[in-house]
């Protein structure tokens, strides 16, 4: 199938500058009784929560004189724009297409950007038919060049049939840190090599010139089976991670070295450390799990002792380290680290940047204020600040140190009024067996202490991910805006809370993991936050947990909402000749039997926690939704459960979105499903 990209003609201002310094403050949230009553009466429409964001991403140019951003404000398709930050400067669209949207971009140098695209007006099922491609364009919109194809066919760009592109199986790996005054045009891309099972078996790095389109293999002599790479700020490969037969092999090649040395080989699920960051001096930083709970810490690797150093560089007690080391210039040392505990925070090592962060936090109080900068800490610094909170999707500011000017650039989602949004709280409770259980609560506006009301327990997908953090989240906020307390447990098996918490969920689908969800509900009821009107909801694994909640704890839940839900563990673990999915053969062979169960050795256990096998025990009303093009959890999962429920005499509410995959991409799909869920919950909880 040939896909066509047509450039939309015309340039124009598409970003409305918000204001001057007077607006550079946190919006005041009026919580007076009158304001609460008004908020309760004024329901924000579903479209405002689930539309594409007005600003997807924003980045300063290396010189700090321009700001590039992807935006859907005032245009049908997401465009890439560049704003001249000089007084009186204009904004121009440098990439804007009729039939696709710009989704990711980076500055290559001060005059050139690269970007990828996706069709955000097609369902997420489109992802299996095309790749995001890669394009280069100048900061003034000139010299557009396609670098990587989106599908197997060459593409038509601006009316010309283009053959000089890399095939679709090339992805961006690294953009070297731009240097002010140096116009280097190369980036690092990886050629994906697939095996006979269509799993990625190797990734081969190439240097790609974004102006000429020429690519050349890097002289790496890569270890066999390398699928992951770490590069220094100049784009030199330092770490190669290979995977073979369930084993992870970490190799290192430092500055001036020609041979790769093996640092560690271990089971992929229980590797003693994982590479995280390399600097330009040849230092390697790894994450290592320590202590009885196995919390991840960031540690420098000791090459003399051939093991991670004893002392942690960064630790976040109660949480696994999750963050980014901040480099502000090529060849420099780390200026700071951005980490996430319950909320995001930045720890600056540079005293000037530490002082500037304090100044920003004082000015924009009560929010997370993420700083990225050029000439950081210097008298001519330019800084981009993204301000956000649990109630605020985000707002962008640019600060110029030379004149101490604050410029409001854009709202991330202009349709959301923070005064009408719910607050997010984080608690640690005890599960029935004494395990520490983190729980997120989204508290609806107007819900008074000691006045319990209806609740929705929203189970995250994965399940081997972290579910929540202190920020605005559309589904939780939408449900809270309709008057529901939203309970979001980080059940065992969730990552981010120590290796012990993660491994405690292995082979516990529908068992102890399900008890954790129930314990979060019982705790909220005991605290006077929720009454007996509770429904359970979730997607993917969260959908599975919804179904098993109705099986295991029918006394707790009046209804369930499950979308793209795993319903048959055997189909998930074994696959089928007749049903296509995207679960890797190596995952089914090495990881899933340990984490979920062995389809043969654990058959009895898996049958006892199979929603399809236990369908006659699902008595509560149920809303089921699936994507027809879903390759992670194929529609067969939904059909098997629907048939089993119908056989038991209980028809679920059933909806299938033809063009969607494992997530709802189309704003109209997201809004439609939200309204269906709202009506369903209102019927059974109010």
Q: Is residue 513 part of a domain?
A: yes
Highest mean pLDDT among 16-25, 86-95, 514-523: 514-523
Both tokens of 598, joined, read 């062995």
Is 32's pLDDT higher than 90?
Answer: no
Tell me the three state secondary structure of residue 521: helix
Q: Is the dihedral of CA 551, 552, 554, 559 positive or negative?
A: negative
Residue 506 lies in a domain: yes
> Are 190 and 205 spatial neighbours (Cβ–Cβ below 8 Å)?
yes
Query: What confidence tens digit (pLDDT) does each residue in 352-396 have?
Result: 999 999 999 999 999 999 999 999 999 999 999 999 999 999 999
| pLDDT higher than threshold 70 for residue 525 | yes
In a domain, 184, yes or no: no
Give dist(CA 403, CA 384) in Å, integer: 15
Domain limits for position 573: 422-685
- For residue 174, the cross-strand partners are 188
Structure tokens at 264: 């560690």
Mean pLDDT lowest for which of 319-323, 353-357, 413-417? 413-417
pLDDT of residue 10: 31
Checking 597-603 for CB contacts under 8 A at 24+ apart, the result is: 597/507, 597/509, 597/569, 597/573, 598/573, 599/569, 599/570, 599/573, 599/574, 602/507
Under the banding of pLDDT at 50, 70 and 90, the label for residue 162 is: very low
Between residues 223 and 17, the one the model is more confident about? 223
More confident residue, 418 or 158: 418
Residue 535 counted as domain residue: yes
User: Which of these, 74, 76, 120, lies nearest to 670 by C-alpha position?
Assistant: 120
Contact yes or no for 686/560 (Cβ under 8 A): no
Q: How confident is the model at residue 41 (pLDDT cuts 50, 70, 90)?
A: low
Q: How far is residue 586 CA from its own chain's centroid?
A: 24
The pLDDT of residue 293: 95
Take residue 507 and report the two structure tokens written for it. Answer: 């082979």
- pLDDT, residue 74, reads 77
d(CA 44, CA 3): 37
User: Kindly report the CA angle at 340 between 357 and 468, in degrees rounded to 5?
Assistant: 130
Q: Does a structural domain hold residue 264? A: no
| Exposure letters 440-450 (e unless 16+ CB within 10 A, then b) | bbbbbbbbeee
DSSP codes joined into one string, 320-342: ---EEEE--STTPPP-EEEEESS
The pLDDT value recorded for residue 183 is 80
Q: Check whether 33 has a pLDDT greater than 60.
A: no
Label residue 285 exposed, middle or buried (CB < 10 Å: 0-12, 13-18, 19+): buried
Helix (H, G, I), strand (E, B) or coil at 66: strand
Question: Is 76 or 370 the better-scoring residue by pLDDT?
Answer: 370
Task: Look at residue 101 and tell me if it is in a domain.
Answer: no
> pLDDT tens for residues 108-133?
999 999 999 988 888 776 666 667 88
Sequence-ordered alpha helix ranges (H) in 31-129: 33-41, 46-50
Q: Which two tokens stand for residue 61?
A: 């140019």
Q: Is residue 431 part of a domain?
A: yes
* CB of 416 closer than 8 Å to CB of 44: yes
Peptide bond into 463 cis (omega under 30): yes
Q: How far apart are CA 337 and CA 681, in angstroms?
A: 42
Task: Read off the CATH number of the domain in which 551 is found.
Answer: 3.40.50.1820
User: Is residue 157's pLDDT more than 50?
Assistant: no
Question: Average pLDDT in the 642-657 region?
Answer: 96
pLDDT at 161 over 60: no
Indicate the number of domains in the chain. Answer: 1
In a domain, 112, yes or no: no
Q: Mean pLDDT of all residues in the chain? A: 90
Asked whether 100 and 74 are in contact (CB, 8 A), the reply is: no
How much is the average pLDDT of 177-205?
A: 86
Tokens of 674: 């939200």
Mean pLDDT over 78-84 rounds to 95
The model's confidence at residue 3, banded by pLDDT at 50, 70 and 90, is: very low
Percent of the chain scoring above 70 in pLDDT: 91
Mind listing the pLDDT tens digit for each residue in 616-637? 999 999 999 999 999 999 999 9
CB atoms within 10 A of CB 215: 17
Q: In what order do the strands lie in the sheet with 622-627?
A: 423-430, 436-443, 485-489, 453-459, 530-539, 559-563, 622-627, 653-657
Region 540-569 average pLDDT: 98
CB atoms within 10 A of CB 95: 25
pLDDT confidence of residue 12: 29
Please name every residue paired with 351 in a beta bridge, in sequence order, or none if there are none. none
């Amino acid at each position: 199938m040939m896909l066509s990209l047509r450039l939309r003609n015309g340039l124009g201002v598409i970003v409305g500058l918000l204001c001057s310094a007077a607006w550079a403050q946190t919006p005041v949230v009026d919580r007076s009784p009158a304001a609460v009553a008004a908020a309760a009466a004024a329901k924000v429409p579903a479209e405002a929560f689930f539309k594409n964001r007005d600003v997807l991403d924003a980045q300063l140019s290396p010189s700090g004189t321009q700001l590039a951003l992807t935006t859907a404000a005032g245009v049908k398709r997401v465009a890439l724009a560049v704003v001249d930050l000089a007084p009186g400067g204009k904004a121009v669209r440098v990439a804007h297409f009729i039939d696709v949207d710009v989704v990711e971009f980076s500055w290559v140098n001060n005059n050139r950007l690269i970007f990828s695209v996706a069709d955000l007006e097609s369902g997420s099922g489109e992802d299996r038919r095309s790749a995001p491609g890669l394009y280069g364009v100048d900061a003034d919109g000139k010299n557009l060049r396609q670098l990587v194809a989106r599908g197997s066919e060459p593409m038509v760009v601006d009316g010309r049939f283009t053959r000089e592109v890399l095939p679709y199986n090339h992805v961006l790996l690294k953009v070297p840190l731009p240097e002010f005054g140096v116009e280097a045009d190369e980036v690092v891309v990886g050629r994906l090599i697939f095996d006979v099972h269509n799993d990625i078996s190797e990734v081969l790095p190439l240097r790609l010139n974004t102006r000429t389109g020429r690519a050349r293999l890097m002289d790496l002599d890569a270890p066999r089976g390398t699928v992951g790479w770490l590069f220094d700020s100049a784009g030199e490969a330092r770490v190669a991670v290979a995977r073979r037969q369930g084993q992870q092999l970490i190799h290192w090649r430092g500055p001036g070295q020609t041979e790769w040395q093996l640092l560690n080989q271990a089971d992929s699920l229980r590797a003693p450390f994982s590479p995280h960051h390399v600097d330009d001096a040849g230092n390697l930083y790894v994450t290592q799990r320590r202590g009885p709970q196995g919390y991840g810490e960031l540690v420098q690797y000791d090459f003399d002792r051939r093991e991670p150093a004893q002392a942690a560089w960064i630790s976040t007690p109660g949480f696994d380290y999750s963050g980014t080391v901040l480099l502000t210039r090529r060849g420099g040392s780390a200026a700071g680290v951005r980490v996430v505990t319950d909320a995001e925070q930045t720890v600056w090592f540079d005293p000037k940047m530490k002082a500037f962060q304090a100044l920003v936090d004082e000015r924009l109080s009560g929010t997370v204020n993420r700083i990225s900068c050029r000439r950081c800490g210097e008298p001519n610094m330019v800084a981009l600040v993204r301000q956000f909170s649990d109630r605020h999707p985000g707002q962008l500011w640019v600060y110029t140190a030379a004149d101490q000017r604050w410029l409001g650039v854009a709202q991330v989602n202009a349709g959301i009024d923070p005064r009408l949004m719910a607050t997010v709280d984080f608690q640690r409770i005890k599960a029935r067996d004494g395990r520490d259980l983190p729980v997120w609560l989204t508290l609806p506006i107007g819900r008074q202490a000691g006045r319990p009301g209806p609740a929705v327990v929203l189970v995250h997908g994965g399940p081997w991910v972290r579910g929540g953090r202190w920020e605005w989240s559309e589904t939780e906020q939408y449900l809270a805006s309709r008057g529901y307390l939203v309970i979001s447990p980080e059940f065992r098996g969730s990552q981010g809370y120590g290796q012990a918490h993660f491994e405690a969920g292995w082979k516990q689908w529908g068992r102890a993991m399900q008890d954790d969800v129930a314990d979060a509900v019982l705790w909220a009821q005991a605290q006077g936050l929720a009454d007996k009107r509770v429904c359970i909801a979730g997607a993917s694994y969260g959908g599975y947990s919804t179904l098993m909640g109705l099986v295991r704890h029918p006394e707790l839940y009046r209804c369930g909402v499950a979308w793209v839900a795993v319903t048959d563990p055997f189909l998930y673990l074994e696959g089928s000749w007749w049903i296509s999915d995207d679960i890797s053969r190596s995952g089914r062979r090495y990881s899933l039997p340990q984490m979920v169960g062995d389809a043969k050795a654990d058959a009895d256990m898996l049958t006892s926690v199979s929603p399809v096998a236990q369908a006659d025990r699902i008595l509560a009303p149920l809303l089921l939704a699936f994507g027809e093009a879903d390759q992670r959890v194929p529609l067969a999962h939904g059909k098997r459960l629907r048939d089993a429920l119908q056989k038991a005499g209980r028809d679920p509410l059933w909806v299938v979105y033809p063009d969607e995959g494992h997530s709802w991409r189309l704003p109209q799909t997201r809004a439609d499903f939200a309204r269906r869920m709202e009506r369903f919950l209102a019927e059974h909880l109010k």
